Structure 1
Amino acid sequence: MKFLTSLLCAAQVCLMTLADAAPLSITLPPETAAFKPSSLPGYPLAQQKCSICHSADYINFQPPGMSLAQWTAEAGKMQHVYGAPISDQDVSVIGAYLAATYGSAKASDADVQAASNPPVEQPPTVSVAKVASALLKDNACLSCHAIDHKVVGPAYHDVAAKYANDPQALARVMSSIQHGGSGKWGDVPMPPFAQLGPDDLKSLATFIMSQ
C-alpha cells in the first residue's frame, strides 16, 4: 500500500511538471524548392496559385514525360478534388506550363500555345427581356400596363406602334418613364420613376419598343 501511494505521488509530480513545461516549438526549414522558370504565362500563375497548397517538390514526384492532357488533368484534379482556388482557365494555362517544363511537350507546340493563351472569359450575357422583366416587377409597372391591352395606361404594343417611325423613339420613351406625365394617353397621370438609372431606363424602353 505504501509503495502504491509513493507511485501515485510520483505520477502526480510528473504530470505537474509536464503541465508547467513550455509548449513544444517546431521550426521548419526554409522552402528551397522552386518552379522551373519559363516564358509561358503558366509559370507565374503556378508560383502564385500552386504554392498555396504544396511545395514545388510535388511536381517532381509525378511520373516523367507526362503529356499536355495528363498535366492538365493533374491541375484539374487540384481544382475539383482538393478545392484549389483556380479557375478552368487557370487549369489550362498551368497545365500547359507543366507539360512544357516538366513533361513531354514543348513550349512552341501549337496546343501548348493555345492552352497558354485561352480566350478571355466573358461574363454571361443577360437579355434585355430578362432585365426588363425584373424591372417591371420591382417597379409595379404591370399594375397600370399590359403588353397587348390597355389597363390604366396604354398597352406596350400600342406605345411601340406609336413611336415605330420616330428616330427619337427610345429617348422619348425613356424620358416618359423617368419624368412621368399626362395627356398623351388620357387624363390619368403617370408617376415619375426618377430613381431609375440610365441603364434601367434604356432596358425598359428597349423592351417596350420591341413589343
Structure 2
Amino acid sequence: MKRMSALLCAAQICVATLACATPLEITLPPETAVLKPSALPGYPLAQQKCSTCHSADYINFQPPGMSLTQWTGEARKMQQVYGAPISDQDVNIIGAYLAATYGSARASDADVQAASSPPAPVAKVDAMALLQSNSCLSCHAINHKVVGPAYREVATKYANDPQALAKIMSSIQKGGTGKWGNITMPPFAQLSPDDLQTLATFVLSQ
C-alpha cells in the first residue's frame, strides 16, 4: 500500500512539473533549397505555387530522368490528391518546367513549348478570387498574423506613403524577405499588372 501511495505521489509530482514547464520553442533554420532557374514560365510559377506547401528538396529527391508525362503527372497529383491550389493550365506549365529542368525533356522540345504556352487572356477577376487562386490566404489573413503580416497591418504601415500602391505591387511581384521578419515571400511574377494592382489595392483598403 505504501509503495502504491509513493507511486501515485511521484506521478502527481511529474504531472505538476509538466503543467508548470515552459512550452518548448523550436526555431527552424532558414530555407536554403531553391529551384533550378529556367527561362520557362513554369519556373516563377513553381517558385510561387510549390513553395507554399513544400521545400524545393522534395523535387530534388525525385528520380532523375523523369519524362514530361511523368512530371506533369506529379504536378497533377499535387493538384488532385493533395489539394494544391493550381489550375489545369498550371499543371501543364509546371510539369514542362520540371521535365526540362530536372527530367529527360529539353526546353526546346515541341511538347514542352506547347505545354508552356500561356493561357488565353481571361476577364478581370476580383481580389478575393486572386487571393484564393494564388494561395495568398495560406500565409495571410485580413486582421491577424498567420505566416506573414495581416493585410490590415500592411495597410496601416503604408497609410501615409504616396508610393504605397507601387511598393505593394512590387513586393507581390518580386517577393522577398526582411520587411516583416525572416520568412521569405515567394515571387508572383506571373501575375499581370492589372492583377497586381487589384491585389495591392485590396491590401491597402483594409
User: Shared topology, TM-score over 0.5?
Assistant: yes
1:110 — aligned with what? 110
SS of 2:8's partner is helix
Shift in Å, 1:9: 1.8
Shift in Å, 1:111: 1.3
Shift in Å, 1:121: 5.8
Kindly provide the amino acid, as one letter, of the partner of residue 32 in structure 1: T
2:92 — aligned with what? 92
1:38 — aligned with what? 38
Distance, in Å, in 2 between the alignment partners of 1:109 and 1:93 is 14
1:24 — aligned with what? 24
1:61 — aligned with what? 61
Distance, in Å, in 2 between the alignment partners of 1:10 and 1:69 is 61
Shift in Å, 1:113: 1.1
Kindly provide the amino acid, as one letter, of the partner of residue 25 in structure 1: E
Distance, in Å, in 1 between the alignment partners of 2:105 and 2:30 is 32
Question: TM-score with structure 1 length normalisation?
Answer: 0.55
Q: Summarize the alignment of residues 1-211 of structure 1 with structure 2, pairs less than 5 Å apart.
A: 1-120=1-120, 122=122
Shift in Å, 1:88: 0.6
Kindly provide the amino acid, as one letter, of the partner of residue 86 in structure 1: I
Q: Report % sequence identity.
A: 79
Shift in Å, 1:53: 1.1
The unaligned stretches of length 5 or more in structure 2 are: 124-206
Distance, in Å, in 1 between the alignment partners of 2:10 and 2:58 is 48
Q: Deviations over 1:40-67 (max 9, x none)?
A: 1100000000111111011122111111
Distance, in Å, in 2 between the alignment partners of 1:74 and 1:7 is 54
The unaligned stretches of length 5 or more in structure 1 are: 124-211
Question: TM-score with structure 2 length normalisation?
Answer: 0.56
SS of 2:51's partner is helix
Distance, in Å, in 2 between the alignment partners of 1:2 and 1:119 is 78
Kindly provide the amino acid, as one letter, of the partner of residue 91 in structure 1: V
Q: 1:79 to 1:121 in 2, by over 3 A?
A: farther
SS of 1:105's partner is coil
Q: Deviations over 1:19-55 (max 9, x none)?
A: 1001122222221110001111100000000111111
Shift in Å, 1:6: 2.7
Q: 1:71 to 1:77 in 2, by over 3 A?
A: same
Q: Which fold has the larger relative contact order, with Cα–Cα distance below 8 Å and residues 6 or more apart in sequence? A: 2
Instruction: Give the aligned CA root-mean-square deviation in angstroms.
Output: 1.5
